A and B are shown apart, each in its own frame.
Chain A
Amino acid sequence: MKLNIEGLLVYFPYDYIYPEQYSYMLELKRTLDAKGHGVLEMPSGTGKTISLLSLIVAYQKAYPLEVTKLIYCSRTVPEIEKVVEELRKLMEFYTKETGEKNNFLALALSSRKNLCIHPEVSSLRFGKEVDGKCHSLTASYIRAQHHSNPSQPVCRFYEEFDAVGRQVPIPSGIYNLDDLKDFGRKKGWCPYYLARYSILHANIVVYSYHYLLDPKIADLVSKELAKKSVVVFDEAHNIDNVCIDSMSVNITRRTLDRCQTNVDTLQNTIQRIKETDAAKLREEYRRLVEGLKEANVARETDIYLSNPVLPDEVLQEAIPGSIRTAEHFVGFLKRFLEYLKARLRIHHVVQESSPQFLKDIYEKVCIDRKPLRFCAERLRSLLRTLEIADIADFSPITLISHFATLVSTYSKGFTIIIEPFEDKTPTIANPVLHFSCMDPSIAIKPVFERFQSVVITSGTLSPLDIYPRILDFRPVTMASFTMTLARTCLCPLIVGRGNDQVAMSSKFETREDFAVIRNYGNLLLEMSAIVPDGIVAFFTSYVYMENIVASWYEQGILENIQRNKLIFIETPDAAETSMALEKYQEACENGRGAILLSVARGKVSEGIDFVHHFGRAVIMFGVPYVYTQSRILKARLEYLRDQFQIRENDFLTFDAMRHAAQCVGRAIRGKTDYGLMIFADKRYARADKRGKLPRWIQEHISDGSLNLTIDETVQLSKHFLRQMAQPFRREDQLGLSLLTLEQLQSEEMLEKISQIAQQA
């Protein structure tokens, strides 16, 4: 259908539209009009993706000078593929309606592992190996050697692409990863480099968060994207953790040992090159004396995504004299390495700030701040000069060099924690140096500064105001949308007590309590008897799950449950988990019914959808707080309090509730779907916890569903399930939660729609 969104003609590829989609598009358009950033929360399964795409594409078509590009960031490869499919549908609709050929170019970009078509390289299993092998075939000096010595192997796809691929732009259309590969095979071009080159003039780019947020990758891939782009972060409820991870470094004893071998290799290679080809080193030296000229030239056009690892003023300067020659630099690395080794040889935990670290390193091994800052840049230059083909081998030393650069560049927002052993095994020495970023805004700042509109959206972003605070930006729109429903298809229940009136809670003091564990078991047992098909249960941690399942086994509860349903368990091992998941789905399919025991923050809770009969009930055992004793977390909380005035408890509750919401949200993936959401902890009944759930869940929690006993829960659930099991047709939804164009245009409906969005 064709919609009129405040004067903008939007093509929407379906015949019906949800009212909240319309409202979502309104808000989105206002954000784009204001050229500002937005935070939008809309329940999963209400067609966020297609609303986003159709509005932004329409906007691009209407104002081609205002918005030139859409950068759509998603988390996983399947999600990326899903987005491209939706986009394809939209474009087909455009061609059908307007009858003219589209000149839109949209493509997905992923790592080499997913895009490589070289027969040898693509058969490798790990991403790192693929990257390394690819580099060893396509590096500039390898190709130069190939010129003089044709027996040196190179990648023919890249050669072909390099020879002709850049002149002719890729024909317009929609390309997912497979399409790119097919196109590459047909032409004999490397799809990866083709995609990387083509994103510069594509209208829509779909790729993973890391291409924009991780400074090491963003500098390579995304730095030339135009300012007039709209950036969308989908499923962004975890964006702060992504930011933090991309700037943090963990160094173990093993890393250092491997670094030592790296340094030795470097030294030997330098020795060898000096004997055979000293001119090369002299050339590099001359270049470094001149300053980081290369980098400067590339940066002159300025609209590049600035690299938070190396601030611009540093790049203006020349590399300090003390690490200019290769031998001196290797000596410098050696000293730095030995210093780190000495620091790791401790028997108690040390926490210090970057300035303290810098002072100490000067006193111990006479390393100044400035050469440290240039460490990453210098290492890159050296690796290039030495023509080392297999970069993958040098990842430990690269990691160390990044650490050196970061620690000397930022005096705030980072902390260094050295732990002599893991918390679980205090007797085994396993020293780790955590260089941990506490301020997610550092990594994301260039994105907000650079692009005119950044939209953060997800099903669970509540409370909305905390994201602008921790990411340090000023949104022009913040809105939360509810789900309009023809029937209440979700039923959140907060179970606080067992039948014996003992309070249920995963709180630390009652964690080992027999009564609590038994009550949890009874709850699951009762539910397994009344809920059809699949139940997903989430625990707060693997350890807690193990304890509970063990005592359920002893109490015989497990046996009783198995009479009703099969039980599957998620483990930290990915292969095992996907096996369990497969079998779980099989058991749901054939009607045997199954229970999946999994962990909040685990793989299942983040990426797997349990549509329809795969998840008729979700039970959340306890409140999924993070492990609060971890020193990194403590440091971060302290930082949040001092810098952003966010109290520890607020943040912890916020973090726990967003994960709880994420878990229970797995069950409802659309309006025809239905599911129970059971929060099994009495603490959920408190206003401060409940208030942090997303609005679309909160709305359905009435006073009657607070602090229930198991019996009451069973009663309510039975009632709910019986109601939901009645046939449900499209006609029932029409006019209420599903609209045709005429219905949408009625005054009354527009009035209703304006109430869907709640501005924060």
Chain B
Amino acid sequence: MDDQGCPRCKTTKYRNPSLKLMVNVCGHTLCENCVDMLFVRGSGNCVQCDTPLRKSNFRLQLFEDPAIDKEVEIRKRVLKIYNKRDFDFSSLREYNDYLEQVEEIVYNLTNNVDVERTKQIMEQYQRENRDVIQRNKVKLTREQEELEEILLLEQQDTEQRRLETLQEEQRQLQAKRKNKQALLDELERSQLPASILLAQHKDRAAQLETQIEKQKQSVKPTTIFSTGIPKGQTVSLAPVIRVEEVLYKYQPINVETYGPPLPELEQLDRLGYLNHVRTATPQDLAGGYTSELACHRALQDAFSGLFTSLV
């Protein structure tokens, strides 16, 4: 890490620990002094690749490899335009294809492959999807939202814990002070000998200690409702995922009975089957029972399996 240096004046981090390296859009490094010297007029060409640069575009180099600085810069710019979220797509596959396309653009721009054409593609995309881009600008991706939520919870937790301990300490301090004050008061007023009062005080102090100890052991209050939802939860605003499936279609079941075909329910009366069955009383009919049902059921039982042969 100490061998990083400015390519122009050859100063290294080892020799000058306060050396600040800067990077511009082309991904080449210069130290701060050189930048000040070369770009006095506000613009000039890169020493290494002759790209015209502006002084205001120089940034502090964050990473050891300046190419990464350049890539991140480009990536941020591209992602500002290509900001579709996964719920803008109907399937995961399309979303993945989209992601790959974005990656391709970034890759091309960083490695100077087909720069002009890629830029054209980007511009075209920007024109076509202007309103989507505008709309998504404020929205976070679902994962980021989740993260934000977790972070918020974490913050709340630590804050609450801090407050709790603080309050606890305050209470203990107050109790101790009160105890001491009580002793002084008693010594002033009471008729009892001082030794007894001191002993009493000692007792009380010990009691207080055990109480504090006990409180420490007690389990802290719950922070969730009985349903498992935490108190004061922020609800994620990401839309529900659309489920696209084929609608269910009913298909009548065809049962193989291995027997002669049954007469239809309506035909039973006409074919005379009902003559052999007890007719339903009015009470039965009220309950939804009809003689056809019983008869039909009995016929099913009788007919099914007649054709099966015993092996």
Contacts and interface: CB of A to CB of B under 8 A. Distances in A.
Interface of A: 253, 289, 317-325, 327-328, 331, 334-335, 338-339, 341-342, 345, 353, 355-356, 358-359, 362, 364-366, 368-370, 411, 642, 645, 647
Contact of B63 (A320, A342, A355, A645): A342
Interface string B268-299: 00000000000000000000000000000000
B147 A317 contact: no
Contacts of A327: 107
Q: 9 tightest A-B contacts by CB? A: A321-B99, A321-B96, A321-B100, A338-B63, A338-B68, A355-B150, A322-B99, A328-B103, A369-B143
B118 interface: no
B92 A366 contact: no
Given A353-B151, A359-B148, 14 more contacts: A289-B93, A320-B96, A321-B96, A322-B100, A325-B100, A328-B100, A341-B1, A341-B63, A362-B144, A364-B72, A365-B68, A411-B150, A642-B161, A645-B220
A335 B107 contact: no
Contacts of B65: 334, 338
Given A645-B219, A647-B217, A331 B99 contact: no
26 contacts: A321-B95, A321-B98, A321-B101, A321-B102, A321-B103, A322-B100, A322-B103, A324-B100, A325-B100, A331-B71, A331-B110, A338-B68, A341-B1, A341-B64, A342-B62, A342-B64, A345-B1, A358-B147, A359-B144, A359-B147, A359-B148, A359-B151, A362-B144, A365-B72, A366-B72, A368-B141
A257 B96 CA distance: 32
A635 B148 CA distance: 22
Interface residues of B, number: 39
Contacts of B143: 368-370
B168 interface: no
A256 to B, nearest CB: 10
B130 interface: no
B76 interface: yes
B79 A355 contact: no
Contacts of B102: 321-322
B219 A339 contact: no
Contacts of B242: none
Contacts of B128: none
Nearest to A319: B96
A401 B206 CA distance: 55
Given A328-B107, A342-B62, A335 B216 contact: no
B97 interface: yes
Interface class of chain B by DSSP: helix
Contacts of A328: 100, 103-104, 107
A320 B97 CA distance: 9
Interface in B85-144: 92-93, 95-104, 107, 110, 141, 143-144
Contacts of B95: 321
B209 interface: no
Nearest to A290: B93
B138 to A, nearest CB: 17
Interface of B: 1, 62-65, 68, 71-72, 75-76, 79, 92-93, 95-104, 107, 110, 141, 143-144, 147-148, 150-151, 154, 157, 161, 216-217, 219-220
Nearest to B101: A321
A253 B1 CA distance: 10
Which one of A322, A324, A356, A364 has the highest number of Cβ atoms from chain B below 10 Å of its Cβ? A322
A325 B148 CA distance: 30
A355 B154 contact: yes
A325 B154 CA distance: 36
Contact of A331 (B100, B107, B141, B220): B107
Nearest to A323: B103
A411 B157 CA distance: 15
Contacts of B220: 645
B7 to A, nearest CB: 19
Nearest to B67: A334
B96 A324 contact: yes
A339 to B, nearest CB: 7
Contact of A335 (B71, B92, B217): B71
A317 B76 CA distance: 26
A355 B64 contact: no
Nearest to A341: B64
B147 A335 contact: no
A368 B216 CA distance: 41
A355 B148 CA distance: 8
Contacts of B157: 642
Contacts of A321: 95-103
Contacts of B144: 359, 362
Contact of A366 (B79, B100, B110, B219): B79
B147 A369 contact: yes
A367 B166 CA distance: 39
B68 A334 contact: yes
B97 to A, nearest CB: 6
B151 A356 contact: yes
Contacts of A356: 151, 154
Contacts of A411: 150
B73 to A, nearest CB: 10
B185 to A, nearest CB: 36
Contacts of B101: 321
Contacts of B99: 320-322
B103 to A, nearest CB: 5
A647 B103 contact: no
Contacts of B62: 342, 364
Which one of A324, A342, A355, A370 has the highest number of Cβ atoms from chain B below 10 Å of its Cβ? A355
A368 B83 CA distance: 13
Nearest to A253: B1
A288 to B, nearest CB: 9
A365 B69 CA distance: 9
Contacts of B216: 647
A324 B99 CA distance: 9
Contacts of B103: 321-325, 328, 331
Nearest to B161: A642
Which one of B97, B101, B150 has the highest number of Cβ atoms from chain A below 10 Å of its Cβ? B150
A320 B143 CA distance: 14
B214 to A, nearest CB: 12
B57 to A, nearest CB: 19
Nearest to B102: A322
B158 to A, nearest CB: 10
A368 B64 CA distance: 21
Contacts of A322: 99-100, 102-103
Contacts of B75: 365-366
A663 B245 CA distance: 64
Contacts of A368: 141, 143
Nearest to B65: A338
Nearest to B100: A321
Contacts of A366: 72, 75-76, 79
A34 B93 CA distance: 47
A319 B103 CA distance: 14
Contacts of A647: 216-217
Contacts of A342: 62-64
Which one of B93, B97, B100, B154 has the highest number of Cβ atoms from chain A below 10 Å of its Cβ? B100
A318 B150 contact: no
Contacts of B141: 368
Contacts of B63: 338-339, 341-342
Nearest to B144: A362
Nearest to A329: B103
A443 B75 CA distance: 37
A428 to B, nearest CB: 14
Nearest to B152: A355
Which one of B1, B99, B103, B143 has the highest number of Cβ atoms from chain A below 10 Å of its Cβ? B103
A366 B141 CA distance: 13
B83 to A, nearest CB: 12
Nearest to B93: A318
Contacts of A331: 71, 103, 107, 110
Contacts of B151: 353, 355-356, 359
